[in-house]
């Protein structure tokens, strides 16, 4: 086997395990931060400062009884959580974690794959991941789950369009769909007279950034767009009937896709691994943490949307805005190239 391929595989295994570990502690930090915001203490019983809580939770979920409802569509019911769980970390394969490093005399690239349609690949995986939720909702043979699945279908289709279109401005400016290329372009400096700024796309595409952020929250089914699992009305929605480790698959998938979409946002809009002093990986991690904190902050601050507000926001507000953004970016790009 060729050495490059082998190092890609090894790197993929490392990324997968790091994501799973991060995910566990993401739940811990979410609970701690939420507790702080709500003037509570948060988990503090298991281990020092409650640090062993995620492990205890994991053991608890794995050892619980796996219940399959009598009238459930058995095969789909068993398949649906796997669908979610397998697809969410797969999207991380195209994210560049830094420049290549030297290991045992081999040049090892810090990404699993650099494909020329990396950004589209990311969107494609995201659009597939919703099947887990829809099928889970359908197979449970439960009205609430079915409603959760239906909501998810409508929500994800609407917000996927917004998510994809908000990236087009970046593609127009960078002229590439490859994340490695997009990051390397953001490493350059943007000189505005005496002002030296990093050429991050958040500066040239601020509107697209805001829209992407909103769509990303909706895409991962997080508050305030968590209508597919709205506890107060749907009793958990698509995962009402799931228990034990099948439930934990949905749970894992949600948190991993949060982490992955944060990494993606940091890569596209915040210059990815670009930054002084520290290594690229740390910068990428720090920037992703900003987004993750934002997710939690939103959850504690903003009440859940009503369903028609959610759809209205996507189609009547965000879609026109994002189309205007594409038009303006295109015109400016043509003008910059001297073709207008």
Partner 1 sequence: MAAEVLVFNLLSGIAIVAAGAMIMMRNPVHSAIALVITFVNVAAIFVMLRAEFLAAVQIIVYTGAILVLFLFVLMLVNPDDLPEFHGARPLQQVFGFGLGIVLLAEIAAAILTRTVVAEPGPWTEEGMAQAGGNIQAIGQVLYSGYVLPVQATALILLMATIGALFLGRPDEDEEPSPSRRTVATISLAHTRGSDEPEIAALRAANVKHEAGDRDIIMARDADEFTSTPAEEEMKERSE
User: Which residues in this chain contact partner 1 in the complex, by CB under 8 A?
Assistant: 73, 75-76, 79, 115-117, 120-121, 123-124, 126-128, 130-131, 134-135, 137-138, 146, 149-150, 153-154, 156-157, 160, 164, 177
Query: Which CB, 200 or 212, lies closer to partner 1?
Result: 212
Give 123's contacts (C-beta < 8 A, 6+ positions apart): 160, 163, 164, 167
Query: Which CB, 135 or 259, lies closer to partner 1?
Result: 135
> For the chain, first and last CA: distance in Å?
51
The CA-CA-CA angle for residues 181, 14, 244, to 5°, reads: 120
**In the complex, least distance from residue 8 CB atom to partner 1, rounded to whole angstroms:** 15
Q: Is 289 exposed, middle or buried (0-12, 13-18, 19+ CB in 10 A)?
A: middle
Query: Which CB, 134 or 270, lies closer to partner 1?
Result: 134
**In the complex, least distance from residue 277 CB atom to partner 1, rounded to whole angstroms:** 35
Query: Which CB, 101 or 153, lies closer to partner 1?
Result: 153
**In the complex, least distance from residue 74 CB atom to partner 1, rounded to whole angstroms:** 12
**In the complex, least distance from residue 123 CB atom to partner 1, rounded to whole angstroms:** 6
Map the chain to HEC letters.
CCHHHHHHHHHHHHHHHHHHHHHHHHHHHHHHHHHHHCCCCCCCCCCHHHCCHHHHHHHHHHHCCCCCCCCCCHHHHHHHHHHHHHHHHHHHHHCCCCCCEEECCEEECCCCCCCCCHHHHHHHHHHHHHHHHHHHHHHCCCHHHHHHHHHHHHHHHHHHHHHHHHHHHHHHHHCCCCHHHHHHHHCCEEEECCEEEECCHHHHCHHHHHHHHHHHHHHCCCCCCCHHHCHHHHCCHHHCCCCHHHHHHHHHHHHHHHHHHHHHHHHHHCCCCCCCCCCHHHHHHHHHHHHHHHHHHHHHHCCCCCHHHHHHHHHHHHHHHHHHHHHHHHHHHHHHCCCC
Give how far Cα 189 sits from Cα of 177, 199, 283, Å: 21, 5, 17
C-alpha Rg value of the chain to the nearest Å: 21
**In the complex, least distance from residue 48 CB atom to partner 1, rounded to whole angstroms:** 44
**In the complex, least distance from residue 320 CB atom to partner 1, rounded to whole angstroms:** 15
**In the complex, least distance from residue 157 CB atom to partner 1, rounded to whole angstroms:** 6
Query: Which CB, 24 or 153, lies closer to partner 1?
Result: 153
**In the complex, least distance from residue 117 CB atom to partner 1, rounded to whole angstroms:** 5
**In the complex, least distance from residue 165 CB atom to partner 1, rounded to whole angstroms:** 12
């Amino acid at each position: 086997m060729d050495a490059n391929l082998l190092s890609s595989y090894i790197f993929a295994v490392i990324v997968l395990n790091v994501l799973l570990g991060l995910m566990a502690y993401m739940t811990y930090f979410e609970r701690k931060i939420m507790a702080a915001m709500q003037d509570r203490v948060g988990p503090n019983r298991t281990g020092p400062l409650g640090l062993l809580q995620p492990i205890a939770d994991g053991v608890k979920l794995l050892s619980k009884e796996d219940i399959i409802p009598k009238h459930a569509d058995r095969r789909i019911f068993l398949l649906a959580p796997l669908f979610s769980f397998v697809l969410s970390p797969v999207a991380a394969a195209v994210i560049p974690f830094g420049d290549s490093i030297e290991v045992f005399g081999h040049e090892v690239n810090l990404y699993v794959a650099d494909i020329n349609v990396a950004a589209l690949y990311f969107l494609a995986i995201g659009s597939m991941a919703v099947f887990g939720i829809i099928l889970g909702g359908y197979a449970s043979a439960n009205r609430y789950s079915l409603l959760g699945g239906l909501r998810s279908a409508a929500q994800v289709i609407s917000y996927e369009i917004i998510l994809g279109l908000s990236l087009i401005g970046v593609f127009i400016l960078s002229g590439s769909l490859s994340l490695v290329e997009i990051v390397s372009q953001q490493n350059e400096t943007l000189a505005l007279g005496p002002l030296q700024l990093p050429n991050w796309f958040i500066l040239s595409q601020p509107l697209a950034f805001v829209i992407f952020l909103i769509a990303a929250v909706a895409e991962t089914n997080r508050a305030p767009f968590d209508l597919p699992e709205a506890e107060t009305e749907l009793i958990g929605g698509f995962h009402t009937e799931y228990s034990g480790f099948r439930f934990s698959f949905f749970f894992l998938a949600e948190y991993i896709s949060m982490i992955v979409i944060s990494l993606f946002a940091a890569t596209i809009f915040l210059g990815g691994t670009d930054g002084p002093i520290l290594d690229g990986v740390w910068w990428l991690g720090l920037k992703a943490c900003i987004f993750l904190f934002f997710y939690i902050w939103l959850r504690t601050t903003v009440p859940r949307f009503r369903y028609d507000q959610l759809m209205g926001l996507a189609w009547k507000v965000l879609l026109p805005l994002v189309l205007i953004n594409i038009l303006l970016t295109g015109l400016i790009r043509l003008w910059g190239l001297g073709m207008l």
